[in-house]
Amino acid sequence: MSLSSKHQPLVHMQNIVKEYFIGDQVIRALNDVTLDIWPGEFVAIMGPSGSGKSTMMNVMGCLDVPTSGTYVLDGVAVSTLSEDELASVRNQKIGFIFQSFNLLPRTTALENVELPMLYMGVPPRQRRERAMEALEQVGLKERAYNRPNELSGGQQQRVAIARALVNQPNIILGDEPTGALDSKTTEDILALLHQLHGQGNTIILVTHDAEVGRHAERVIRFRDGRVESDTAAAYEGER
């Protein structure tokens, strides 16, 4: 159950620093980042290559831990968790969408969507029912038994979105989720994300694409490991 409310941020980051060591050189990928993201927001995290946005995604998605600072996700101080605890938080609180879809090639769409529930020990019948519901939510129920190579790029990304949704996470976190898609399919996927946002989902997209960023209601721009700007920009397209 989510602990966040309109009075408490879903993501709270305070003075986050992330350093990497290359030989005797220290690279500070994130430099004293402080930000809050609230339940129900649609946020784009943007910036040029090397700006820190990908490192921010890894920290925010519990794929990496900060060198220093405080990260609280839905009331949980994740910056202090063990690897096993981080894995549990990732599976329960975050639904990931990747540029390369990250689907298992030899399994059906339905089985790919079931995967996060398998890690949680959900019984087989319940897994199948919830996975089918998630596929129906993204308009792909009729392709449930197709393998990824039998689906278009846009359909594969819809399967990935269904997989991200199936555990009812607090955040849907997309890493360049339209980067491998043509412009028409990109618009279709963004329309689906707007639909999910309209149902109350918190959407965070990490992207370098200005057109994708235009769809967000809030844009956080990174440069040199810092937040350069944080602006609200109401989406003007069709909902």
pLDDT digits (tens, 9 = 90+) for 115-147: 999 888 899 999 999 999 999 999 999 999 999
Average pLDDT over residues 83-106: 91
pLDDT score recorded for residue 180: 86
> With contact defined as beta carbons under 8 Å apart, do 109 and 151 qualify?
yes
Where do runs of H (alpha helix) occur along the chain? Answer: 53-60, 83-93, 109-119, 124-137, 153-165, 183-198, 210-213
CA atoms within 13 A on the CB side of 9: 12
Backbone angles phi, psi at 53, to 5 degrees: -65, -35
In terms of C-beta density within 10 A (0-12 exposed, 13-18 middle, 19 or more buried), how is residue 159 classed? buried
The pLDDT tens digits for 43-82 are 999 999 899 999 999 999 999 999 999 999 999 998 788 8
Q: Say yes or no to pLDDT of 24 above 60.
A: yes
Distance CA 137, CA 170 (A): 17
Backbone angles phi, psi at 141, to 5 degrees: -60, -35
Average pLDDT over residues 196-214: 91
pLDDT score recorded for residue 211: 84
Could you tell me the domains of the chain? Answer: 40-64+80-232 (3.40.50.300)
Distance CA 37, CA 73 (A): 10
Average pLDDT over residues 92-100: 91
For residues 232 and 227, the model is more confident at 227
CA 82-42-127 angle, 5° bins = 55
The pLDDT tens digits for 27-40 are 999 999 999 999 99
pLDDT score recorded for residue 61: 94
**Lookup: tokens for 220:** 């956080």
Distance CA 204, CA 219 (A): 10
Categorize the per-residue pLDDT at 99 as very low, low, confident or very high, splitting at 50, 70 and 90. confident
Q: Say yes or no to pLDDT of 181 above 70.
A: yes
> What percentage of the chain carries pLDDT values higher than 70?
95
Q: Which amino acid is at 140?
A: L
* 66-79 burial code (b ≥16 CB/10 A, e <16): bbebebbbbebebb
In terms of C-beta density within 10 A (0-12 exposed, 13-18 middle, 19 or more buried), how is residue 106 classed? exposed
Distance CA 197, CA 191 (A): 10
List of long-range contacts for 138-147, beta carbons under 8 Å, 24+ apart: 138/162, 138/165, 138/192, 139/192, 140/109, 143/109, 144/108, 144/109, 144/110, 145/108, 145/109, 145/110, 146/108, 146/109, 147/105, 147/106, 147/107, 147/108, 147/109
Distance CA 83, CA 104 (A): 24
